[in-house]
Structure 1
Amino acid sequence: MNMQGELQLGADELAVQRWRADFPILQTCVHGKPLVYLDNAATTQKPLAVIEAEDRYYRHDNSNVHRGVHSLSQRATDAFEAARVKVQRLLNAASPNEIVFVRGTTEAINLVAQSYGRSRLREGDEIIVSGLEHHSNIVPWQMLCQQVGAKLRVIPVNDAGELKLEAYERLFGPHTRMVALAHVSNALGTVVPVKAMTDIAHAHDVPVLLDGAQAIAHVPVDVQALDCDFYAFSSHKLYGPMGVGVLYGKAELLNAMPPYQGGGDMIRSVSFEHTEYNVLPFKFEAGTPNVAGVIGLGAAIDYLSAIGFEAIAAHEHALLVYATRAVEQIPGLRLIGTAHDKTGILSFVLKDAHAHDVGTILDHQGIAIRTGHHCAMPLMERFGVPATARASFALYNTRREADALVAGLEKVVELFNT
C-alpha cells in the first residue's frame, strides 16, 4: 500500500467508528462472534435514520399518496415527492419528472426493455450487452429478442475483468438499436468506462441504459454528465429499504414510451372506450407504491449526503487496497477480477475449497460473505470457475474486519491442508 493509502486509513479510523454506531445490526453476534458483515454488494445494512424514517411514517403518516385531500395523505404525499427530488439531486437529473419509482433495478430494466424496446425494436435489430452483466441486465433483453426477433451482441471481457473497448466499437452496425451496460460489475467490482462507451454509442445514434445497482453507493453518478439515456438502481444497495428502485430516463424518451403496467395513478381519465394516461413520472407508477420504502430511501440519501460521498469513496478505496494486499499473501488464493479501476469487491477462489465451503467456514467465524455465481453465470464461465467467494466493503467496514477475513481464510486453508 502506498503512504497516501495508509494515511487515509488512519485518518478515517475515528470517522468509521462514528459511522458504525449508526447501524444497529453491526452490534449483532453470529455463532458467538461479533458480526463482520462483508456482503454489501448483495445488500447494505440500514442506518438508524432510515429505520426511524419508515417507523415514523407508519406511526404518524400512514396513508396512500396522491389521492387524498385529508392531512395524512397530504403529509405522506409531500414526503414521497420530497424523496423524488432527493433522488433527482443525487443523480443530477434535469427534473424530478425523470425519476420513476419501481421495485428495484430489475424492474427498471424490464420496464425499459418492454416499453422502449418492444415498441421500437424489430426483427434483425441488435442489442449490445457486456460479458460483465448481472442476469437482470441479460435476461430482459433476451426476452425482448425472443419477442421481436432481435439479436444479442456481447462485449468480451479480458483476463483482468475489464471490457475490451476495441471489440465494443466493432459490434456497432446498421442494426444496432440499444446498449445496456453495468456501471460497476457486481461480481468483480470492475468500474466500467461508461462515459466513453456512451459517447461511442451516441455517435452511432444508439441509446444507452446503465445498470447502476453496484455503482450508486460507491462512485459519483451524474446522469447529465454521463449523458446516458436510462439509469437504474436499487434503494437497498444505497443503505435504504428493500423493495424500492429508481429508473431515470430522459424526459423525451419517457414521454414517447407506452406505459409498462396499467392501473391506478397512471391514468388521467378512464372510460370503457378510452384511457388517457397520466403525465411523467406517474405514467409508469401504476398502483400503490412502497411509500415507506421511498421515504426511507430519501432518508438514506440525506444520511449519506451528510457524511459526504467523497469521504466514503476514499475510505472504501483505501480499505480495498489494504485488503487486496493482505489476501494476495494467502496460499492458493486466486483473485478473480483485477481491473485497474475497481470498487470495494474482492472475488476469489481458494485451491481445493469450494466457494460454498469457504462461506460456511467463515460464517462460523462471524464473517458474512457471498458465495456462488452472483447472478453472473456467463462471467463465471469466462473465468472457468463455477462460483467465487465475494467479500464486499461498505462505509462501515474497517481494517480490523479485513484482518478478520484474512484470518478466517487462513483457517480455511489450514482445514483443507490437513
Structure 2
Amino acid sequence: MTFKTLDDADLSGKRALVRVDFNVPMQDGAVSDDTRLRAALPTIEKLRAGGAKVILLAHFDRPKGKRVPEMSLRPVVGPLAALIGAPVAFADDCAGDAARAAVAAMKDGDVLLLENVRFEAGEEKNDPEFAKALAANGDLYVNDAFSAAHRAHASTEGLARVLPAYAGEQMRRELEALELALGKPQRPVMGIVGGAKVSTKLDLLNNLVGKLQFLAIGGGMANTFRYAQGYDIGASLCEKDMADTAREILQKAEAAGCKMILPTDAVVARELSPGAVSRVAPLAGGAIDADEKIFDVGPDTLREILAAMGEAKTLIWNGPLGVFEVQPFDKATVEAAQEAARRAASGALVAVAGGGDTVAALNAAGATGDFTFVSTAGGAFLEWMEGKELPGVAALSS
C-alpha cells in the first residue's frame, strides 16, 4: 500500500483538516481518559511546527444526524489545550457559519476543534455535498483516525476525494505495524485468537488460517472447537450449533499448513469468582465433571503455545486465552503476554496486538510497552485482520 504522509506535504500557511478520534470516555461531562487525545498529539505538533492551521474534525457517540447537547465535543477543549500547551479554539458547528468564521480568524500554528461531525446527517451518509462543505475550510486533509477508517463517512472517506490527502502520524504507525504483521511479515507467523464465541470471529479465523503457520485458540471459543472434536467440556460456554463450522475451519487450516493449537488441558471450576476453588484437568478421557466450567487453558497447553512462540518471528494477538479479569484464571494470558513482550523487546519477535479485551489483558500483564505495536482501534483492527478493505485507508492510497 502506498499513501502520502505529512513528510510529503507543504504545510506552511495551509489549513489542515485533520480527522482525529476524540470519542473519549466521559464522566459527569468531563473527559475521564485522555488516551485518544494523546494519540493525536504527534500529528498536531508536526502540523503546528510546519506552520499549518490545525482544524480538528471528530465525532462523539451516536447523535444520528441531530444536535444532542450532551454529545458536544466542547468538554474536550480544556484537556486538549493542556496537553498541547497552547490555546484550542472551538466552533459550534463543523461546516457552517461558526466554523467558517473560526477558521478565518486562525493564525499559522493555531488549533481549532470543530463541533461533532455526526451532528450533521451528511456525515454518516457520506454525502458528497457535505464533504465539499467540510473541505471548503481546508487546503489539505489528514486522516489520523484509523479507529474510524472502517467507516465510509464524509470525514473519514469523502474528504480524501476532495482534498489532497495524507496519513497522520498515528495512522502511519498503525498501517506500518499492520503491514509488518500481515502484509509482509517475517515468517513463521503465529496468531493467538481468544474470545467467547466462534461466531463473532468467523471472518477472522477463515482469513488467518490461510496466512499463518501457527494459530492458538483460547477463551470460550476453544471449547466450541474441542466440543466439535468430541471432547467432553462439562458445563463450559460453548456454541454447539457452530460445531460443523469449527470442523470446517480445522480442515481449512490443515489444508493450508497452519498448525492449530487447541487446549489439551484446562483450568476448571464450578463458579467464576476471585480465588474460586479450581483445578487443572485434561480434556481427554472425560476428566471434566458435568458441573465444571473451563475458565483458562492449562499449563500443558500454555507450554505448547510458548514453544510455538519461540519458533515464530511474527505474532498477531486478538483476544485473551482465559477469563483474565478474574484470578486465578489470568495465568495463561499473563504468562503468554509477558513472554511475547520479552521476545519483542529483545528483537526476536514482531508482536502486534489489538482489540479492547486484548489491550486490557496486556495492560494487566504489564506487557503493553514492550510489544512492537498495540492497536486501540477495535473494530477497524479486527476488520483489517479479517482481510477486509477499510474505506478510510483505501481513500488515502487511491
Quick check: which has more Rg, 1 or 2? Answer: 2
Q: What TM-score do you get using the length of structure 1 for normalisation?
A: 0.31
Of structures 1 and 2, the one with the larger relative CO (CA 8 A, separation 6+) is: 1
